[in-house]
Amino acid sequence: MGGELFFADADSNYPDADFVIFGAPFDGTSSFRKGSRLAPDAIREASYNFETYNPYFDIDLADIPFHDAGNVDIPFHDAGDVDIPFHDAGDRDIPFYDAGDGYIPFHDAGNADIPFHDAGDGYIPLHDAGDRGISGNCTVEQAQAAVDEMVTRILSDGKIPIMLGGEHSLTVPCVRGSKNHFNDLGVVVLDAHFDLRQEYEGEVNSHACVSRRIIEDITDNYISIGIRSGTRDEYSLARSRGITYYSADLVEEKGITHVLAELSRHLDLDTGHLYLSLDMDVLDPAYAPALGTPEPFGLTDRQVLSVIRRLAPRSVGFDLVEIAPGFDSGNTALLGAKYVCEFIASAQASR
Ligand SMILES: [Mn+2]
């Protein structure tokens, strides 16, 4: 469905746009739950839910020139696996077997599947999206190259790229492109995971190695917020290299306002250039359950909103990655779509 579904109110043509949204439907290295390749269109679909007027910024999205360039051409699909959790129902039988009559509640429990199947209907177009462009396998490097080309074009044209992932590995070419255009670039990654591995499952460009690639290959002017998962080695590495990060526990303890104030000691939030990457798993799964690798005890929806509102004015690029739409009934994509609206409104309001 590339080229058919566009983000709501992205009515500007490309030349006039200040912001350019594009989708990157790739989840080739996702290790736990695949499905983020379906996120770009799920986010677009969700975007039609909202009013265009943003009361916080007193700004109307309909008045902001932004464009949706569609999806980058990623010839891949390992596909289909996203359904599996929904079809996986059967195991519950066993405890119910003891009570014969218990069979009836077990049948009732079976009906609880229906919402998923209904959701499954909303799912069908996403599956169509998934099957598009099958032409053999695509490596993460090929997907990154496709993103690199898109981001470089948007930045060269003096516009702000907004990527709808796809998996987190696609952030790397976005940061690289941004660094090429803005040498003072500071990078802020919102993520539950350190992503500091040298390689994961034999792949140096895995979604689990994103921050390592950024810090080693692009810039160490890097900060992450919301961290609560990593190996002992990753935590050691963060300490030994002096990587600045704000754990989810620290955000909870000190408050997001404090963390944002702290941030300005490390990054120039007033005149510098930032790249902002939002791995949606920074959120607590209560707010964002449909993720590739959900991790409990995360940030709230409003804490993340505060970060976006504060940093968007200095951001030269933004991405939102790791939503795997099949694992809820649309609320994670809805939240993602709203964050995109808030990013644009905040950035525009500061102009
Ligand atoms: Mn993550």
Query: Per-residue pLDDT averaged across 70-75, rounded?
Result: 87
Cα 216 to ligand 1 centre (Å):
18
Instruction: Give the model's confidence band at 114: pLDDT under 50 very low, under 70 low, under 90 confident, else very high.
Output: very low
Cα 33 to ligand 1 centre (Å):
12
Cα separation, 186 vs 189, whole angstroms:
10
Res 81: pLDDT: 45
Task: Sketch out the chain's domains with CATH numbers.
Answer: 19-74+137-349 (3.40.800.10), 81-131 (no CATH)
Cα 172 to ligand 1 centre (Å):
14
Cα 16 to ligand 1 centre (Å):
34
For 277, the token pair is 């990457």
Cα separation, 310 vs 269, whole angstroms:
9
Closest CA to 329 of 109, 113, 14: 113
Residues in contact with 335: Cβ distance below 8 Å, sequence separation at least 6, in sequence order: 280, 283, 287, 288, 301
Cα separation, 221 vs 188, whole angstroms:
9
For 214-227, write each residue's pLDDT tens digit: 999 999 999 999 99
Res 124: pLDDT: 33
Cα 178 to ligand 1 centre (Å):
21
Comparing 66-70, 149-153, 204-208, which segment has the lowest mean pLDDT? 204-208
Query: Per-residue pLDDT averaged across 138-154, rounded?
Result: 95
Cα 226 to ligand 1 centre (Å):
10
In the three-class reduction of DSSP (H, G, I as helix; E, B as strand; rest coil), residue 264 is classed as coil
Share of the chain above pLDDT 70, in %: 81
Is the pLDDT assigned to residue 265 strictly greater than 90?
yes
Is the pLDDT assigned to residue 106 strictly greater than 60?
no
Cα 189 to ligand 1 centre (Å):
10
Is the pLDDT assigned to residue 266 strictly greater than 80?
yes
Is the pLDDT assigned to residue 111 strictly greater than 70?
no
Instruction: Give the model's confidence band at 295: pLDDT under 50 very low, under 70 low, under 90 confident, else very high.
Output: very high
Res 216: pLDDT: 95
Res 117: pLDDT: 44
Cα 111 to ligand 1 centre (Å):
33
Cα 229 to ligand 1 centre (Å):
9
Query: Per-residue pLDDT averaged across 59-72, rounded?
Result: 96
Cα distances (Å, whole numbers) of residue 31 to 271, 287, 294: 38, 22, 12
For 16-48, write each residue's pLDDT tens digit: 999 999 999 999 988 889 999 999 999 999 999
Residues in contact with 36: Cβ distance below 8 Å, sequence separation at least 6, in sequence order: 26, 27, 30, 165, 166, 167, 292, 321, 322, 323, 324
Res 82: pLDDT: 43
Res 132: pLDDT: 33
Of residues 85 and 287, more confidence is placed in 287
Res 4: pLDDT: 81
For 161-206, write each residue's pLDDT tens digit: 999 999 999 999 999 999 999 999 999 999 999 999 999 999 999 9
Is the pLDDT assigned to residue 231 strictly greater than 70?
yes
pTM for the whole thing? 0.83
Cα 223 to ligand 1 centre (Å):
14
Residue ranges with strand state E in 139-273: 160-165, 186-190, 222-227, 244-247
Cα 279 to ligand 1 centre (Å):
6
Instruction: Give the model's confidence band at 137: pLDDT under 50 very low, under 70 low, under 90 confident, else very high.
Output: low
Cα 102 to ligand 1 centre (Å):
41
Cα 26 to ligand 1 centre (Å):
15
The answer to whether 223 touches 242, Cβ cutoff 8 Å, is: no
Cα separation, 20 vs 311, whole angstroms:
18
Cα 192 to ligand 1 centre (Å):
5
Pairing of strands 53-54, 59-60: antiparallel
In the three-class reduction of DSSP (H, G, I as helix; E, B as strand; rest coil), residue 245 is classed as strand
